[in-house]
Structure formats: structure tokens, C-alpha cells
């Protein structure tokens, strides 16, 4: 019997960053090892440029930047969208704002596979809180605009 294949998307490479999202991805992958064919597609941050196998988990780099949050994520999602034909899985899983471009590309191609989008944190609350206090910088305004759009999803 063929193993279930799972493609996971996260802007930050989970084997090089150790936040809650990254830890969740790595721990889930460890527990599914041998049962599910899982690949983690992540951004090219912290020098991550070539596919890597760490503790049996395959990590695949997808172009992103380290410039600033909204721009970095936009490049990552654009890269994923262009690779829709090459990234084949039975189930797709995206974290926070990673993968929304891929989902749109799947739908355009009329590919109806299960897609799990996990939003970590409460975007709408973070957006509202960002207006309290000092006048926001251009970067904060741009991030707020994107958070507002994502909170509506």
C-alpha cells in the first residue's frame, strides 16, 4: 500500500529556526516518520539553499528573502505558486501565511486536494493592537495591511 504523502509549507526552515511553529513541524514529522512520506518546503533563510535531510525529514528550499516580513513571505508564496506542478502530495499543510499562493494555484488548476491552513496566533487581535501607542512605521503599516487581509481569510 502506498504511503500518504504530505507537503508542509513554512517560510522559515524548521531545522534552522526554533519557534513554536517550527518545533511543531519537526515534532510532527518525527512522529510520522515511516508512516507518511513528508516533505517540508521552506524559505531560503539562514543560508538554507540546498535540500537537506535531517533526522529522516526532508527539507526543500523555496526562494524567499530575509528583508522584511511581508516581502519575504510574498516571495516565498510566489515561489510555491510557480512550483505547483512539481509539488505533488495527497495532503498539503501550511502554517501562518505560508502557502496561500500555493492554494490559489491549486484551485486555478482545478486540483481539489485537502489543504490545511493553520494560523498561529490571532491575526485580527494583533492587527487591532498594532494601532495602540506610537505612530507605526512604513514596515508596520505594510505588515498591518497584510495581517488585516489574512485575518479576513
Residues 106-137: tens digit of each pLDDT: 999 999 999 998 877 665 566 667 667 767 77
Q: Tell me the CATH architecture of domain 4-120.
A: 3-Layer(aba) Sandwich (3.40)
pTM score of the predicted model = 0.82
Contact 106, 92 (CB under 8 A): yes
pLDDT-based confidence at residue 31 (cuts at 50, 70, 90): very high
pLDDT digits (tens, 9 = 90+) for 50-72: 999 998 899 999 998 877 767 78
- In angstroms, the CA 59 to CA 39 distance is 6
**Positions of CATH 3.40.50.2000 in the chain:** 4-120
pLDDT-based confidence at residue 48 (cuts at 50, 70, 90): very high
Sign of CA dihedral 140, 22, 151, 74: positive
Amino acid at each position: 500500500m502506498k504511503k500518504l504523502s504530505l507537503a508542509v509549507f513554512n517560510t522559515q526552515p524548521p531545522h534552522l529556526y526554533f519557534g513554536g511553529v517550527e518545533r511543531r513541524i519537526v515534532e510532527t514529522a518525527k512522529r510520522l516518520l515511516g508512516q507518511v512520506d513528508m516533505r517540508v518546503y521552506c524559505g531560503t533563510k539562514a543560508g538554507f539553499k540546498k535540500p537537506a535531510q535531517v533526522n529522516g525529514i526532508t527539507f526543500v528550499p523555496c526562494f524567499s528573502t530575509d528583508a522584511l516580513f511581508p516581502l519575504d513571505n510574498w516571495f516565498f508564496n510566489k515561489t510555491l505558486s510557480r512550483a505547483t506542478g512539481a509539488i505533488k502530495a495527497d495532503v498539503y499543510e501550511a502554517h501562518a501565511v505560508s502557502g496561500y499562493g500555493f492554494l490559489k494555484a491549486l484551485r486555478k488548476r482545478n486540483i481539489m486536494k485537502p489543504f490545511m491552513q493553520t494560523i498561529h496566533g490571532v491575526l485580527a487581535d494583533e492587527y487591532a493592537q498594532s494601532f495602540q501607542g506610537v505612530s507605526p512605521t512604513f514596515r508596520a503599516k505594510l505588515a498591518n495591511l497584510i495581517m488585516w487581509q489574512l485575518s479576513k481569510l
